[in-house]
Structure 1
């Protein structure tokens, strides 16, 4: 079993190293113990930074392990990713605008996290932490998802002779929307 998160935090500059062996076992080098994907999920929730390396090749496989955690959580019924979002995301692989998606998603999640923290603070201060605010966060998530899907539709290739706006115009619209979202989250 893994040590508590406080013991796993080394210093902020050096993430915990996890090694994945051919037998699919994950080894936490900071605690000298084997861990599971559930342990790694908890480390993420606790804010513990880690990197996962293939023990044989030394390749960084952090992205695939984090993706595996998401797949397992979704399989347990923890459905955070709507089907429409998954389809939209898949459609961007190999697309000419693929380079923009990670940055956009990262910024959207940062903004969402800030807003979520602000809402938690508001409800805790206003209602003493007794108010169930799950519906408000769910609604905000739906709105963020709709905004993301609208923005991504702007980048779908347009047939020649179409009356749709130019790519430059669409980029300007997206930029204004992102600035508006940032103002809303700061405000």
Structure 2
């Protein structure tokens, strides 16, 4: 259920256990984090007082994630944020952060596409280049090792000096092309 008008109610008991009233099950902070990622809106109430403690539970989820090494909040950001507590601009900060993150969320698909274009395409180019280079190496080895493929070996005495020279010239040209391509690839890195 992701309807903001009918959020899932989660009760937090004195023993720190969380109870999802919608599914009638006990949940963990990780379960709540997954609910957030899935877009499920929920409210956490203190079971004894009925007080809405959603903010502190969400903050606790962030703390847990940060302590696991999944650092999303840079130290510099935290240091900039702390002075706003008790400041006259304190009431403006939540709205500013919410609008900024909402804008970032709206654009995340575009960011992902851009990252795929930036980092995905070069790998495809390298993959094609590797295939091309392998084909050229195979062709070169076939010229040096005609006995490796007995069905296609030229009959004895049929080799003409002109043919060998043209094959050698073709191979030299292909090797020069491969060298150029390898040089270009090494410059791109």
- Are 2:43 and 1:51 aligned? yes
Could you tell me how far 1:12 is from its partner in structure 2? 5.0
Contact 2:2 2:41 in 1 (8 A): no
Partners of 1:62 and 1:88 lie apart in 2 by: 24
Q: In structure 1, what is the Cα distance between the partners aligned to 2:94 and 2:2?
A: 28
Structure 2 residue runs of 5 or longer lacking an equivalent are: 122-189
Higher helix share: 2
SS at match of 2:11: strand
Q: Deviation of residue 64 (structure 1)? A: 0.1
Aligned to 2:102: 110
Match of 2:21 among 13, 16, 29: 29
Of 108, 111, 115, which aligns to 1:119? 111
Gap change, CA 1:46 and 1:61, over 3 Å in 2 = same
2:76 alignment partner, SS class: helix
Q: 2:36, 2:114 → 1: CA distance?
A: 25
User: Residues 109-155 of structure 1, C-alpha deviation per residue, up to 9 Å, x if partnerless?
Assistant: 0111112122234566x69xx839xxxxxxxxxxxxxxxxxxxxxxx
Normalising by the residue count of structure 2, what TM-score does the alignment of the two structures yield?
0.59
- Per-residue CA deviations over 1:155-184 (Å, capped at 9, x if unaligned) read xxxxxxxxxxxxxxxxxxxxxxxxxxxxxx
In structure 1, C-alpha distance between the alignment counterparts of 2:43 and 2:3, rounded to whole Å? 14
Q: Displacement, 1:96?
A: 1.1
Instruction: Give RMSD over aligned pairs.
Output: 2.0
- Mean CA deviation greater in 43-52 or 111-120: 111-120
CA-CA distance at 1:54 after TM superposition: 0.1
The count of residues paired between Structure 1 and Structure 2 equals 121
TM-score normalised according to structure 1 size? 0.60
Q: Quick one: higher RCO (CA 8 Å, sep 6+), 1 or 2?
A: 1
The answer as to 2:89 corresponding to 1:100 is: no
